[in-house]
Amino acid sequence: MSKTLPATIWGRWRLDWGRQTHVMGIINVTPDSFSGDGVLSVVPDEEQMAAHALEQALAFVAEGATMIDVGGESTRPGFAPLPVAEELRRVLPVIKLLAERLPSETIISIDTYKSEVARQALEAGACLINDIWALQRDGEMAVVVAEHDVPVILMANMRGYQKHEIVSDVLRFLARSMDQALAAGVAWERIILDPGIGFGTTPEENLILLHRLGELRALGRPILLGTSRKSTIGLILGNLPPGERLEGTAATVALGIAQGASIVRVHDVREMMRVVKMSDAIRTMQLSQPGQE
């Protein structure tokens, strides 16, 4: 289905679906990211965090990322929600600097479920919202998306959800969020879906979601897959720490693309870009053009 979806176009940005898989690089402006890559854990001096984040984002773009996802609040299991003011203090300097210095076609995403953070991030230069609660935590988020006419990633979040059968649960969750978005005036072509691997799901349920990822295509929108360095990978590979989950992440990326994922959200852009190129070549049966290797 992803091959037949029309492009998502807004402002100066464009996402084509089906021709290639897009790579989203993760910038965690946190001291406590589960993956150990939080900018504030590397550069405790917050005055230098924006410069460090820019260096990381520039490397991601050079390695092939077309999207950069900036988040200021850890979403690891048991995380403590940040006050809005603290989240803004972390992400706004980073987004402003990225908007000034990254290539103009780069898509800067704000990873937040708080409408005020999303609003100010968009005004600072972000152009896409990545909401881990799919508009269901903050009732004003759908309004912000509609007012700014930007794409939104709706992620299924099973934390606190009474589950029955995980694929059906995810489909229902996402369908409800899609209805909420449309009712607020969000355009259909602005919606992107994420199954929410690891968000209130067991390792067994994560494997089921990955095995049956293609069923989400029935909702008619592009799929983002975020499995990078997640705990299920570490568990399956013998309790490996996050930094040693590269090959396991690569397997989920390749098989996710085969199931219809249009975007992969990753920490290791250089390595996953190679996996994406190979997977896309097999999926489309087309060789890379000269200069694209």
Residue 195 has phi, psi (to 5 degrees) of -70, -15
Q: How much of the chain is in helix, strand and coil states, percent to nearest 5?
A: 45, 15, 40
Q: Specify whether 119 is catalytic.
A: no
Residue 269: what pLDDT? Answer: 98
State phi, psi for 184 to the nearest 5 degrees: -85, -5
Residue type, 122: L
One DSSP character per residue, 81-125 reads: PPPHHHHHHHHHHHHHHHHHHS-TTPEEEEE-S-HHHHHHHHHHT
Q: Helix (H, G, I), strand (E, B), or coil: what is residue 9? A: strand
Handedness of CA 218, 171, 246, 237 (dihedral sign): negative
pLDDT computed for residue 145 by the predictor? 98
pLDDT at 31: 80
User: What pLDDT does 25 receive?
Assistant: 98
Q: How many CA atoms lie within 13 A of 32 on its CB side?
A: 10
Among the listed residues 96, 265, 270, 277, the single catalytic one is 265
Cβ neighbours for 127, distance < 8 A, ≥ 6 positions apart: 10, 11, 13, 107, 108, 109, 150
Helix (H, G, I), strand (E, B) or coil at 248: helix
Residue 25 in tokens? 């690089």
The CA distance from 230 to 210, in Å, is: 13
Backbone angles phi, psi at 76, to 5 degrees: -65, 155
Phi, psi of 194 (to 5 degrees): -135, 125
**Residue 159, pLDDT score:** 95
CA distance linking residue 113 with residue 197, whole number of Å: 17
Which residue among 119, 229, 230, 245 is the active-site one? Answer: 230
Q: Does domain 20-281 sit in CATH 3.20.20.20?
A: yes
When computed from its CA atoms, the radius of gyration of the chain, rounded to whole angstroms, is 18
Secondary structure of residue 67 in the 3-state scheme: strand
Annotated domain spans of the chain: 20-281
Q: Which ranges of the chain have pLDDT less than 50?
A: 1-2, 34-36, 38, 40, 292-293
What is the token pair recorded at 278?
A: 């190979």
The answer to whether residue 163 is catalytic is no
pLDDT of residue 39: 54
